[in-house]
């Protein structure tokens, strides 16, 4: 009983401590200048407690919650207020804001905001008629190669964010694909690149996630107000307007108000090819090839980009617009040939506008039901009666925007379920002290009163969410079935209620399952081939293939499936053969660049082929069929080929030392073998420290520069129910001066005193400092604030940028913590992972291959390739080139780039030796023995060392580096990287 009392006391203390932090200083407005006025005006609390164990969550309310409160307090849209402020009429700006006023693209008196970092501007408005206002902006994005992403702003009103979604308002660009598409040597079309055609655009502020049918509303009471726009994206602003929203009536009301005496239209159907857009607001909404015989255009056996890619047109507010000519004024109906079969039994939703407005409320979130294959869909009511659209003669437009509005309530309830699961897990941890004692018996009803009731309530709530989802979706689907599984898991735990303390890990697993369901719901795919505008009274053209056509198409596609686009067996002697272990878009872009630049410069013709699987490279090389150059290889593959004399030593080329300087010395180490370098870095990622600015500032915590500083932070975080991510072994070993292998490569050096000390520091992070051993999703925990600090690679950067817009400006990246040295510097050695390129030994063109690699890894080519790739596919395809001179020219935020540059200085990968693949597995086994099983760290590591050395010696003997007695016959002479890379100095100060 004393233990139970102690644990409950600990939980009570944790709650009290959390409240102290909650009531502490709050974060100032985003990007406030430290010396500007109004720094203390903002009061956006981001940390709050909601359970005894100090569980935390974001306190920012959702828009729909705030809007409901406003309406209950009397706020209305029924007012005549309308305010327009010229863009040049600023009331205030941050000290670092680069603002000029002048002419811009045909208009005068424009506010030109050349934002470079986190900046803000403010407008002041006097409101006479209080009520709910819609904000509309007339703007022009900067159009150049450096600026391609949407304009992202944190919008605050009178010093604070009224709702969560106001932190992530985006204004989009307009893009258009360059058609007709070019063709490659096989006669296949190359996916066209989109070009930025943005001009002056007028649009309303919306939530970035597309979670609401209408633009966001803001409550303005009579009097003066200030609106602040904070961000880092340059833009020209003509005006900002505040006006009452126009209510959209239902179809019946709208139809009754249209002309009743309009004469019938006698004209043929208007056919719009979906791929021929007027504009799209996201360059990464690509065209795609569909081989259904009824898709237009269709060319047998050839890739033809004839549809809008449904899988990539599926998130946020992605919008596509088409224009068409109407021959006569009158009533028309609209249909489309569409495919909505990507997610089994899942409906997708689109907001449909005609001539810039939603005609009636039924089109705010029109549902496209799941159906297998292509279907002809007519916009109509639930009875199947087509809607009638009154269109004027001349040019008209139709636009379709992705929306998640019908699912928003379901997503919010699932997010609340994750918070509840975290609370239950925290309660269990407070009860057990984090110790899994199998010899202890529990009585949950007495030991943790209310816990079982909360679990039961959670299961009931999830079941109610499932019913609601099936109503919105129109049928059960994979997500609703996933909820059923989670409810069953909860019920199975409740069956053996006193065994629950031994199953604490299942609560983490359940959080991951719910998070995955939320991610699934955010996808709203829909593929389009054609749109049809047909006079009312006439029939639509056939929108689906006939049975005969389907049989014919199946036969044709089956026949052409035996005709591969790349025949890797046919090595052409008159060209340089390059194989690329990446997707087709990567291959096509590289072929284009080679044709445009490399061949004219050198006279060397290049044939770039898609390599679908690295295993084929091994098999074909064994058969005597190999390329001249291979790209996109894993960082360990060149070493494995070098061992077997299958790859070219790049150090043999006389200008190798010059090319060596392009990359960090630590990025070359995996490619080193027997005195040479057998691969070249292409792309690399970095382990960076991610942190929530709002939470750390709210708690009065500074970013840790060293591990000792981090250790001092951990109790404060943990007392508030927070923690950091698990961390791998590399920083602990490299930063503390421990090497992984002996210089001759014959054994591991983990058994040195520095090795044992590093291993202890690594395991102490979990045993002594109580960092969680595993994490279901850093992204999800980072978003909700329970993991406000952690280490991850640049993939996390892209994920947060793309999928967590509500955190815009509230998170940052920094170099990872390090170990302070005697000279005062902080060593931050860390790897990250790379992709590489290599020249194969069988090549008859070694010099030409080397010229190609020099061209390919040059700053100019890498920058161009990365720019084109991101334009074509979006930010999620950011090209993390290993060439630092190209890397800095990609569209990184200035502050983030500086942090990455500092970490790049300390980039260092582990070298390879024969049998080194065994080390990672045995180190993980040693960690499990020490952290999970409680075995002494030294004993555990010694066991691993024996197994690692045994495998290394076996492989060293196989490749004749040691004899049967273990005597070294020849040394690998592994390179030692002891100093940070000076190549970073020109981009960041030491």
Q: If pLDDT is split at 50, 70 and 90, which confidence band does 24 have? A: very low
| 628-683 tens-digit pLDDT | 999 999 999 999 999 989 999 999 999 999 999 999 999 999 999 999 999 999 99
Q: Which letter does DSSP use for residue 595 in this model?
A: I
End-to-end alpha carbon distance in the chain: 56
Chain-wide mean pLDDT for the chain? 88
| 154-171 tens-digit pLDDT | 999 999 999 988 988 989
* pLDDT at 721 (0 to 100): 84
Q: Which letter does DSSP use for residue 264 in this model?
A: P
The answer to whether residue 346 scores a pLDDT higher than 80 is: yes
* pLDDT at 900 (0 to 100): 95
Q: If pLDDT is split at 50, 70 and 90, which confidence band does 511 have? A: confident
Q: Are strands 629-634 and 576-580 parallel, antiparallel or unpaired?
A: parallel
Number of neighbouring beta carbons within 10 Å of residue 451: 19
In three-state secondary structure terms, 412 is helix
The residue that leads in pLDDT, 893 or 101, is 101
* pLDDT at 348 (0 to 100): 94
Question: Distance between CA 538 and CA 333 in Å, rounded?
Answer: 9
Question: Distance between CA 723 and CA 778 in Å, rounded?
Answer: 11
Greatest CA separation for the chain = 102
**What is the DSSP secondary-structure string of 648-688?**
--GGGSTTHHHHHTTS-HHHHGGGEETTEE--EEEEE---E
C-alpha separations of 469 from 62, 115, 464, 518, 620 in Å:
20, 42, 9, 12, 50
Question: Distance between CA 718 and CA 403 in Å, rounded?
Answer: 38
Question: Distance between CA 154 and CA 421 in Å, rounded?
Answer: 30
Residues in CB range of 123: below 8 A, 6 or more apart: 85, 89, 90, 91, 226, 227, 229, 240
Residue 495 exposure: Cα atoms within 13 Å on the Cβ side: 6
Question: Distance between CA 772 and CA 676 in Å, rounded?
Answer: 42
C-alpha separations of 83 from 22, 66, 162, 226, 240 in Å:
38, 23, 20, 13, 8
Residue 808 near residue 824 (C-beta atoms within 8 A): no
Structure tokens at 305: 């980009």
Question: Distance between CA 306 and CA 318 in Å, rounded?
Answer: 19
The residue that leads in pLDDT, 323 or 522, is 323
Phi, psi dihedrals of residue 742, rounded to the nearest 5°: -65, 155
% of the chain at pLDDT higher than 90:
66
Q: Which sign does the torsion angle of CA 466, 472, 476, 479 carry?
A: negative
Structure tokens at 506: 């299942």
| Nearest by Cα to 529 from 873, 270, 290, 315 | 290
Q: If pLDDT is split at 50, 70 and 90, which confidence band does 46 have? A: very low
Give CA 745 to chain center in angstroms.
39
Map tokens 């199998």 to a residue.
Answer: 438
Q: If pLDDT is split at 50, 70 and 90, which confidence band does 51 have? A: very low
Q: Which runs of consecutive H residues, i.e. helices, occur in 474-503? A: 478-495
* pLDDT at 433 (0 to 100): 74
% of the chain at pLDDT higher than 70:
91
| 724-781 tens-digit pLDDT | 999 999 999 999 999 999 999 999 999 999 999 999 999 999 999 999 898 878 988 8
Q: If pLDDT is split at 50, 70 and 90, which confidence band does 298 have? A: confident
Q: Which sign does the torsion angle of CA 127, 133, 139, 142 carry?
A: positive
Q: Are strands 131-141 and 348-354 parallel, antiparallel or unpaired?
A: unpaired
Residue 826 exposure: Cα atoms within 13 Å on the Cβ side: 15
- Rounded mean pLDDT, 358-374: 94
Residue 905 exposure: Cα atoms within 13 Å on the Cβ side: 24
The answer to whether residue 32 scores a pLDDT higher than 60 is: no
The answer to whether residue 100 scores a pLDDT higher than 90 is: yes
Number of neighbouring beta carbons within 10 Å of residue 756: 17
* pLDDT at 321 (0 to 100): 98
Assign 3-class secondary structure to 798-848. Answer: HHHHHHCHHHCCCEEEECCCEEECCCCCEECCECCCEEEEEEECCCCCHHH
* pLDDT at 44 (0 to 100): 32
* pLDDT at 566 (0 to 100): 56
| Nearest by Cα to 127 from 225, 28, 216 | 225
Residue 197 near residue 175 (C-beta atoms within 8 A): yes
- Rounded mean pLDDT, 200-225: 94
Residues in CB range of 338: below 8 A, 6 or more apart: 368, 374, 375, 377, 526, 527, 528, 529
Which contiguous run of DSSP H or E holds residue 335? strand 330-340
* pLDDT at 616 (0 to 100): 78
Question: Distance between CA 731 and CA 770 in Å, rounded?
Answer: 18
Q: If pLDDT is split at 50, 70 and 90, which confidence band does 505 have? A: confident
Structure tokens at 420: 């509840």
The answer to whether residue 38 scores a pLDDT higher than 60 is: no
Helix axes 859-873, 584-593, angle to 10 degrees: 140
Range of weakest confidence among 38-47, 355-364, 597-606: 38-47
| 566-597 tens-digit pLDDT | 555 566 678 999 999 998 889 989 999 999 89
In DSSP terms, 176 is beta-bridged to 195
| 829-838 tens-digit pLDDT | 999 899 999 9
Question: Distance between CA 48 and CA 511 in Å, rounded?
Answer: 20
Length of the chain: 990
Range of weakest confidence among 121-125, 129-133, 148-152, 860-864: 148-152
């Amino acid at each position: 009983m004393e233990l139970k009392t102690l644990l409950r006391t600990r939980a009570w203390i944790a709650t009290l401590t959390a409240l102290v932090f909650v009531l502490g200083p709050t974060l100032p407005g985003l990007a406030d200048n430290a010396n500007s006025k109004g720094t203390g005006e903002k009061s956006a609390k981001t940390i709050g407690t909601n359970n005894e164990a100090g569980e935390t969550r974001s306190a920012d309310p959702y828009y729909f919650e705030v809007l409901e409160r406003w309406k209950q307090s009397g706020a209305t849209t029924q007012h005549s207020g309308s305010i327009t402020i010229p863009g040049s009429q600023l009331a205030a700006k941050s000290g670092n804001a680069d603002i000029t006023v002048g002419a811009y693209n045909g208009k005068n008196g424009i506010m030109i905001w050349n934002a470079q970092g986190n900046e803000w501007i403010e407008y002041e408005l006097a409101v006479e008629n209080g009520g709910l206002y819609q904000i509309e902006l007339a703007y022009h994005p900067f159009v150049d190669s450096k600026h391609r992403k949407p304009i992202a702003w944190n919008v605050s009103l009178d010093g604070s964010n009224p709702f969560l979604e106001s932190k992530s308002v985006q204004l989009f660009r307009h893009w258009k694909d360059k058609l007709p598409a070019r063709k490659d040597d096989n006669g296949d079309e190359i996916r066209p690149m989109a070009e930025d055609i943005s001009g002056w655009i007028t649009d309303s502020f919306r939530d970035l996630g597309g979670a609401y049918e209408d633009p966001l509303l803001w409550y303005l009471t009579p009097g003066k107000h200030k609106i602040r726009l904070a961000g880092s994206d340059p833009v020209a602003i003509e005006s900002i307007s505040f006006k009452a929203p126009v209510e959209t009536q239902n179809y019946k009301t709208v139809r009754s108000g249209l002309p009743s005496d309009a004469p019938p239209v006698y004209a043929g159907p208007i056919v719009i090819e979906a791929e021929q857009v007027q504009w799209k607001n996201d360059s990464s909404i690509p065209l795609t090839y569909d081989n259904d015989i009824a898709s237009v255009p269709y060319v047998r056996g050839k890739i033809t980009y004839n549809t809008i890619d449904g899988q990539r047109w599926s998130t946020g507010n992605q919008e596509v617009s088409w224009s068409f000519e109407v021959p006569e004024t009158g009533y028309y109906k609209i249909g489309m040939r569409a495919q909505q079969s990507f997610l089994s039994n899942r409906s997708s939703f689109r907001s449909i506008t005609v001539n810039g407005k939603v005609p009636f409320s039924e089109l705010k979130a029109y549902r496209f039901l799941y159906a297998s294959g292509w279907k002809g869909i007519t916009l109509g009511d639930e009875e199947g009666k087509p809607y009638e659209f009154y269109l004027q003669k001349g040019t008209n437009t139709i636009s379709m925007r992705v929306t998640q509005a019908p699912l928003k309530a379901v997503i919010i309830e699932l997010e609340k379920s994750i918070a509840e699961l975290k609370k239950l897990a925290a309660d269990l941890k407070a009860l057990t002290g984090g110790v899994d004692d199998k010899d202890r018996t529990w009585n949950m009803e007495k030991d943790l009163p209310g816990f079982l009731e909360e679990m039961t309530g959670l299961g009931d709530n999830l079941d109610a969410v499932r019913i609601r989802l099936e109503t919105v979706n129109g049928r059960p689907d994979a997500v609703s079935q996933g909820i059923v599984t989670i409810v069953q898991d909860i019920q199975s735990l409740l069956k053996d209620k006193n065994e629950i303390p031994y199953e604490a890990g299942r609560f983490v697993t359940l959080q991951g399952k719910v998070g995955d369901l939320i991610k699934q719901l955010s996808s709203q795919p829909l593929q389009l081939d054609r749109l049809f505008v047909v006079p009312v009274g006439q029939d639509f053209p056939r929108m689906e293939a006939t049975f005969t056509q389907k049989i014919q198409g199946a036969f044709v596609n089956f026949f052409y499936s035996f005709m591969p686009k790349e025949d890797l067996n046919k090595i052409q002697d008159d060209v340089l053969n390059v194989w690329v272990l990446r997707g087709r878009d990567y291959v096509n872009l590289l072929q284009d660049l080679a044709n445009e630049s490399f061949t004219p410069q050198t006279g060397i013709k290049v044939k770039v082929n898609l390599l679908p699987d690295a295993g084929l490279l091994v098999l074909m090389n064994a058969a005597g069929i190999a390329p001249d150059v291979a790209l996109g290889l894993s960082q360990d593959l060149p070493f494995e080929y070098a061992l077997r004399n299958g790859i070219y030593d790049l150090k043999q080329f006389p200008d190798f030392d010059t090319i060596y300087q392009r990359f960090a010395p630590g990025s070359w180490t995996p490619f080193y073998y027997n005195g040479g370098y057998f691969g070249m870095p292409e792309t690399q990622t970095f382990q960076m420290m991610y942190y929530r600015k709002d939470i750390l500032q709210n708690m009065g915590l500074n970013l840790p520069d060293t591990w000792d500083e981090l250790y001092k932070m951990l109790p404060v975080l943990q007392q508030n129910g927070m923690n950091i991510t698990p961390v791998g072994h590399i920083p602990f070993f490299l930063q503390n001066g421990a090497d992984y292998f002996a210089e001759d490569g014959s054994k591991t050096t983990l058994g040195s005193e520095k090795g044992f000390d590093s291993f202890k520091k690594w395991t102490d992070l979990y045993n002594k400092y109580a960092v969680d051993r595993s994490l279901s999703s850093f992204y999800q925990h980072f978003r909700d604030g329970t993991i406000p600090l952690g280490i991850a690679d640049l993939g996390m950067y892209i994920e947060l940028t793309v999928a967590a817009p509500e955190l815009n400006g509230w998170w940052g990246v920094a170099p990872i913590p390090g170990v302070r040295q005697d000279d005062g510097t902080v060593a931050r050695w860390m790897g990250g992972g790379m992709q590489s390129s290599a020249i194969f030994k069988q090549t008859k063109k070694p010099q030409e291959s080397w010229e190609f690699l020099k061209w390919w890894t040059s700053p100019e080519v890498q920058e161009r390739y990365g720019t084109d790739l991101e334009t074509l596919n979006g930010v999620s395809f950011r090209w993390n080139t290993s060439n630092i001179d190209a890397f800095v020219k990609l569209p990184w935020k200035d502050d983030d780039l500086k942090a990455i540059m500092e970490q790049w200085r300390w980039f260092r990968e582990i070298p390879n030796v024969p049998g080194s693949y065994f080390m990672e597995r045995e180190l993980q086994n040693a960690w499990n023995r020490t952290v999970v099983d409680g075995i002494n760290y030294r004993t555990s590591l010694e066991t691993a060392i024996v197994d690692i050395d045994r495998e290394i010696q076996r492989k060293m003997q196989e490749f004749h580096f040691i004899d049967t007695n273990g005597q070294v016959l020849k040394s690998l002479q592994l390179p030692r990287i002891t100093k940070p890379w000076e190549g970073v100095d020109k981009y960041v100060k030491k």
